[in-house]
Structure 1
Amino acid sequence: MADAKTEPAPAAAVTAAAEDQQQQKTVVVVGVDDSDHSYYALEWTVRNVAAGMAGAADLVVVHAKPSPSSVVNFGGPGAGEAMRYVEADLRKMAEAVVDRARRVCIANSVHALIEVIEGEPRYVLCNAAEKHHADLLVVGSHGYGAIKRAFLGSVSDYCAHHTHCSVVIVKKPKSKC
């Protein structure tokens, strides 16, 4: 019996196969901030979506860092110095959020792309879902009542109505005391 020889696949075929595999992967974007609700949503996603898909999903963790001007809105003497302090504080907070998100992913043996994007969370998350061609956007629910939601707005509600992909809103269970 003669040995069958296989020729190496042409580069174009290899590239097409890699692109096909990339297109078949599910892309999941998860929004995180410094709240326990968002980390619960990340943990839920890692346990129920990313880890369960064993390499068939790309996880993108997104933190929307507020701009200093959205936190400090005044002028006059000392405003520039106050802005530098606010910027440094926001940067430290973003680093802490990213560090905690990274630890959640590592603890669950899940690789994730982690991004920090300056802006309003509702817009940042919808734009990230579009940019990464997400199949799923996961956000945590802060559990605000109707009145608080009316005044503060709901990031999850906005995302559910304005993004092109499916949205999962993860609620952290209330502790049973």
Structure 2
Amino acid sequence: MATTEMYNDGVAGSVMEKGMAICGEFGGVKVETMVEGGDAKDVICRMAKKLGPDLLVMGSHGYGRIKRALLGSVSHHCAQNVECPVLVVKKPKSSLSTADGH
């Protein structure tokens, strides 16, 4: 359990650092971060209600229809259940590298 918690803390810290760095590129953007436990869609919706953000920005795994049907979509659930606008950012498709980089 302790090892898993340390790993999760490390991942959460890394994600928050990256997010803060990206947001730091845009002047005047207020960012709040926190780490909560539980079902992601429920925690995100609860925090959005509590904090009342102007915009909720979320990432997407980009699952296909079958995986999304089986696993559910956190971003879709949140977009349907929070009161603020939601921006879903898709993970870039990994390109197959060629010799000339195209």
Q: TM-score, normalised by structure 1?
A: 0.46
Q: What's the offset of the Cα at 1:99?
A: 2.0
The equivalent position to 1:97 in structure 2, one of 11, 22, 37, is 11
Q: RMSD value over aligned CA atoms?
A: 2.1
Over 3 Å counting, the alpha-carbon distance change for 1:107 and 1:116 in structure 2 is: closer
Deviations, residues 121-173 of structure 1 (Å, cap 9, x unaligned) = 00111111111111111111111111111111100110011111111110122
Structure number with the bigger relative contact order (C-alpha 8 A, sep ≥ 6) is 1
Counterpart residue identity of residue 73, structure 2: S
Q: What's the offset of the Cα at 1:100?
A: 0.8
Pairing 1:137–2:56 present:
yes
Contact 2:59 2:88 in 1 (8 A): yes
- State the aligned residue count: 91
Q: TM-score, normalised by structure 2?
A: 0.75
Over 3 Å counting, the alpha-carbon distance change for 1:169 and 1:131 in structure 2 is: same
Counterpart residue identity of residue 152, structure 1: L
Paired with 2:76 and 2:20, the residues of 1 have a C-alpha distance of: 30
Q: What's the offset of the Cα at 1:116?
A: 1.1
Unaligned runs of 5+ in 1: 1-84
Counterpart residue identity of residue 133, structure 1: G
Deviations, residues 51-101 of structure 1 (Å, cap 9, x unaligned) = xxxxxxxxxxxxxxxxxxxxxxxxxxxxxxxxxx2xx24422331123213
Counterpart residue identity of residue 57, structure 2: V
- Percent identical: 42
For the pair shown, the structure with the greater C-alpha radius of gyration is 1
Aligned to 1:128: 47
